[in-house]
Copies of this chain bind each other. A is one copy, B any other.
Amino acid sequence: MIQQTARHGRERVHRTSSDPTRERIVAAAIDLFSERSFEGASTRELAARAGVAQPLLNYHFRSKDDLWRAAVDQLFAEMTQALDVRTAEVVADGDVAGAKAVIREFICFSARRPQLHRMITQESKADGPRMDYLVDRHVRPVYERTAQIMGTLVKAGAVPDIPVEHLYYIITGAGPTMFVHGPECRRLTSLDPTDDAVIQAHADAVCLLLFGPHVTTTTK
């Protein structure tokens, strides 16, 4: 068949570089996918949350999978941007204070955007095309960089001598979990995981364990 649905025939023209409707859909997708997982989020509810009709999703995106990828891309773009600001200062391999700042920024970002870790967790537990995309495209670079940073910290004696693989999962576990479990945390404890004081306290706690007692530097 020659005819395809309007859009997908020729690739997006990308005239104004930003499409507000498309962005609203991606924003809704980030929220709903991270809450309900890929299968649990129906295209109807997705569309409703974005305030559009359901078939519009298939106009802006080839498929539900395609929308999911757009959501993941958006989240990682945000994280990369948030961390690069800090990472720029750490390029030199010895900058322990800078590395510490990056870790704090990572935790703060996780609190601001727990959706990212939720979507990673949802796909990390069983192989599949979405995990392929996630790992190959996004997670591995983050892991490589983290491993490198942590390696220099260990070498510098700033952090206990633990294999970087374990440090990676300790940091990506201990940091975001409180915020990934936000609603549960609010019920279980009396803490509000969206409160900036709580976020800073958590970053303090993780850094205290990793780096030992220090003067606390507040991030953002």
Minimum distance in angstroms from A91 CB to a CB of chain B:
23
Tell me the nearest residue of chain B to A147, going by C-beta: B189
Closest Cβ–Cβ distance, residue A20 to chain B (whole Å): 26
Task: Give the residue name and chain of the B residue nearest to A162 (CB).
Answer: B205
A64 to chain B, nearest CB (A): 13
Minimum distance in angstroms from A168 CB to a CB of chain B: 8
Q: Least Cβ distance of A103 to chain B in Å?
A: 13
Write the A69-106 contact mask toward B (1 if CB under 8 angstroms, else 0).
00000000000000000000000000000000000000
Docked pose: A160 CA to B114 CA in angstroms: 26
Cβ contact within 8 Å between B165 and A169: no
Q: Output the least CB separation between A72 and chain B (Å).
A: 14
By beta carbon, the residue of chain B nearest A189 is B165
Segment with Cβ contacts to B, from A2-10, A11-19, A49-57, A178-186: A178-186
A174 touches B184 (CB 8 A): no
Q: How many residues of A contact B (CB 8 A)?
A: 58
Q: Closest chain B residue to A190 by CB distance? A: B165
Interface 0/1 of A29-57, CB less than 8 Å to B: 00000111111100000000000000000
Bound-state CA distance A187–B187 (Å) is 35
Which residues from B are CB-within-8-Å of A163? 201, 205
* Interfacial residues, chain A to chain B (CB-CB below 8 A): 34-40, 114, 118, 120-127, 131, 135, 139-140, 143, 160, 162-163, 165-178, 180-185, 187-191, 201-202, 205-206, 208-210, 213
3 closest residue pairs by CB, A with B? A173-B177, A39-B40, A124-B184
Query: What are 14 A-B pairs at a CB distance below 8 A?
Result: A40-B40, A120-B181, A121-B180, A124-B182, A135-B187, A135-B188, A140-B188, A160-B208, A160-B213, A163-B201, A165-B191, A166-B202, A169-B202, A170-B205
